[in-house]
Amino acid sequence: MDILQYTDKHHAFRQRLRTFLAKEVTPNVDQWEKDHIVPKEAWQKMGREGFLCTWASEEYGGMGGDFLYSVIATEEMAKTNHTGLAAMLHSDIIVPYINSFGSDAQKKKFLPGCISGDIITAVAMTEPDAGSDLAGMQATAETDEDKIVINGSKTFISNGINADLVIVAAKNPAEENPYQSMSLYLVEDGTPGFKRGRQLDKMGFHSQDTAELFFSNCRIPKENILGQQGMGFMMLMEKLQQERLMCAIGGQAAAELMLEWTIDYCKTHTDAAGKPISKSQAVQFAIVEMMTEIKVSRAFLDKLIAEHAAGENVVVETSMAKYWITDLDNKIASRCLDLFGDFGLTEDCPIARGLRDVRVMSIFAGTNEIMKGIAAKFMGL
């Protein structure tokens, strides 16, 4: 019995998305990897077809779909074996901040463009010297009459080059409590004092335009404060359950895809004796062990998806899932690469890119050590 109950509409959406990705995304992935960026036109095509922010209200141009549409979009995007077109980050991690905490004016101004793909978003939290420690944030935001003046730098910002709108976390230097000093601000492309630094050259995520961002006396209107001033930390904490769950969903799809490639390769290629690689007992055992772990994590993940969709608090469990599944990704990628033999060392082997891309998943959205620390705290350890 399936834990998640997909309707005919869900299945039709998945098939429509698969058809779109096969035509508009997959054929272009290798070029995007070489270019180290995805053209904005690709985002706009996704938006026009209704594949961005599927949960958004029809009032703003969305389809008003349930959470399973987000799950489908994330899973199918993972199967394209690239990370540049970071629809999950945009649709299910960043834009929900605007939907949940934005004023009516902010929603009317930004949500339609986020849905259509005309506005690409980024969230700027990480700093060069703070890492995952939000309390150590140094970027400041001070009030000057009817403006907010932001100063500081951010790094490892996904969509940093393409972003038309950045949600920036910064603190009020007059407030000593680091958790009460933080607020979130909407900074639009072209705002004086907002500059992009270098696009980071990374081990993986080659098509993802990850960049440094700099704010030097960047003046934004007070109307661009997102939510209540001083509530930034609480707003970030409120959204972490979905962020970590989305990471786990993408990671699960990646693990399933890598094993699928490996099984197909082992069935269709022969060893030195002329027999299919899959007939080797050692290979069979390796594949069965990986499949077992993947099925176990799928059952756990689907349960969390159902609970999250029902509005339940599963912060601890999603932290566990994020660490478990992204660790599993690295394990699966490495073991699958072994089964490909010499071919696994070539760029023609999809596992080569997959291994590079999944490596960072245990680091971003909070390192897996932080995930374990959260679980330990709630367990009273």
Active-site residue flag, 243: yes
User: Of all residues in the chain, what percent are helix, strand and coil, respectively (each to 5)?
Assistant: 55, 15, 30
Which one of 33, 127, 243, 256 is the catalytic residue? Answer: 243
Burial letters 229-260, b for 16+ CB under 10 A, else e: bbbbbebbeebbbbbbbbbbbbbbbbbbbbbe
> Dihedral, CA atoms, 252, 254, 256, 260, nearest 10 degrees?
180
**3-state SS, residue 225:** strand
- Total residues belonging to the chain: 381
Q: Which residues contact 236 (CB under 8 A, 6 or more apart)?
A: 125, 134, 169, 182, 184
Q: Which residues contact 234 (CB under 8 A, 6 or more apart)?
A: none
Q: Which residues contact 313 (CB under 8 A, 6 or more apart)?
A: 241
Return the active site residues.
243
